[in-house]
Structure 1
Amino acid sequence: MKTLKAVVPRMLVFFILLMVITGLVYPLVVTGISKVFFNDKATGSIIEIDGKKYGSSLLAQEFTSDDYLWGRIMNLDTGTYQNEEGETLAYSWASNKTPAGEELESMIAERVEKIRRANPDREGEAIPVDLVTSSGSGLDPHISPAAAEYQIPRIAKARGITEDELRAVIDRYTDGKFLGIFGEKRVNVLEVNLALDGILK
């Protein structure tokens, strides 16, 4: 029968081997494969035009001007943390507000009022729910086609373009259902706004 003294060295070798394989070799191989076949996604899906980075197509940015498409409410904190260079670090979190609570009700009411003031042409129409609520991550880069359609009169007037021209841009950056079956159609807010500014072709 083997003694503990004889087994321990083998255990240590096995542990170190596993640590190297799972902690070094495997991540490097997976990262290498993803950079070769899915380079855009592996590097954060950054939208880069002529060497300038405008953001990730996977993360929301806040737009508040009348000539831009607005996204969902963002749960964003930019005042708590900074890196070693003193730059502000932003982070988000899921809202823990209960649907039965007054805080959430007040937040939605405030957002509804803001949306109505910004879109007077839609007076009397129901506001798409994703324009007055946040996503689980607080950084959802997409809105529904209905939420984009709701904003078309405001943006078209502010930019001096026709509503059909604006719809064509929105349609270009609307993703369909995954495999044509799963999920819902969604509009990427950042991509639409970059296209409206003539940055994204």
Structure 2
Amino acid sequence: MKKYLLPSIKMTLIMILLLAVLYPISIALLSKLAPGGGKGQTVTVNGNVVGYARIGQKFTQDKYFQSRPSAVDYNAAGSAGSNKGPANPDYLKTVQDRIDTFLVHNPGIDKSQVPAELVTASGSGLDPHLTPAAAKIQVKRIAAIRKLDESSLNILVDQYTDGPLLGMFGPSTVNLLALNIALDKMK
């Protein structure tokens, strides 16, 4: 028994040292090299912090591009999805309510045109990006409210669209915070 017990205790202590002490310390030190020093990359406008570059936030006014819904109400301390399956009645009701709300705020859009990402939460609940199509479907509403030309808003969306990673991995995306900041700067 001593033959197996002592090596097991040694291995447990080594793994505790590696995984509970050295690994977290190394990750904390590496995060200091990231933009924002591991505390998130803040976005400032006129000297005021207005959000984080990689964390989604809620835009409720119709004069802004609306974000993807969040299952955690954009709380970065509790990143999570809803964990409800696509056949769950509560989930289906939530999605239908989001579709109905979107259609009320975007008259002239048919239900079949509503991008899924505008009515379903991301896995983390904090996704700051939309596809260009999901941003452009909101252009008509914003142009009417702000009395701007739709073509200039479409150009703005194109300017804030990032292509796929390395030109081939993933979809093109639009960071909504950056887009809405640029929208406020338009005259």
Q: Could you say what secondary structure the match of 2:94 adopts?
A: helix
Instruction: Indicate if the aligned counterparts of 1:121 and 1:153 stay in contact, CA closer than 8 A.
Output: no
Unaligned runs of 5+ in 1: 1-13, 79-87
Q: Tell me which residue corresponds to 1:178.
A: 165
Whether 2:130 is the aligned partner of 1:134: answer: no
* In 2, Cα distance between equivalents of 1:48 and 1:90: 21
Q: Tell me which residue corresponds to 1:150.
A: 137
2:47 to 43, 51, 54: 51
Whether 2:89 is the aligned partner of 1:76: answer: no
Unaligned runs of 5+ in 2: 1-13
Instruction: Indicate if the aligned counterparts of 1:73 and 1:131 stay in contact, CA closer than 8 A.
Output: yes
After superposition, give the CA deviation of every residue in 1:62-102 in whole Å (9 maximum; x if it has no partner).
11211110111111259xxxxxxxxx996332111111111
* In 2, Cα distance between equivalents of 1:138 and 1:118: 22
RMSD, aligned CA: 3.2
1:41–1:146 Cα change, 3 Å: farther
Alpha-carbon deviation of 1:42? 4.3
Larger Rg over CA atoms: 1
1 or 2, which has the higher strand percentage?
A: 1
1:60–1:156 Cα change, 3 Å: same
TM-score, structure 1 as length reference: 0.74
1:31–1:116 Cα change, 3 Å: closer
Q: Tell me which residue corresponds to 1:159.
A: 146
1:29–1:62 Cα change, 3 Å: closer
Instruction: Indicate if the aligned counterparts of 1:152 and 1:166 stay in contact, CA closer than 8 A.
Output: yes
Aligned length: 176
Give percent identity, aligned residues only.
36
Q: Tell me which residue corresponds to 2:5.
A: none
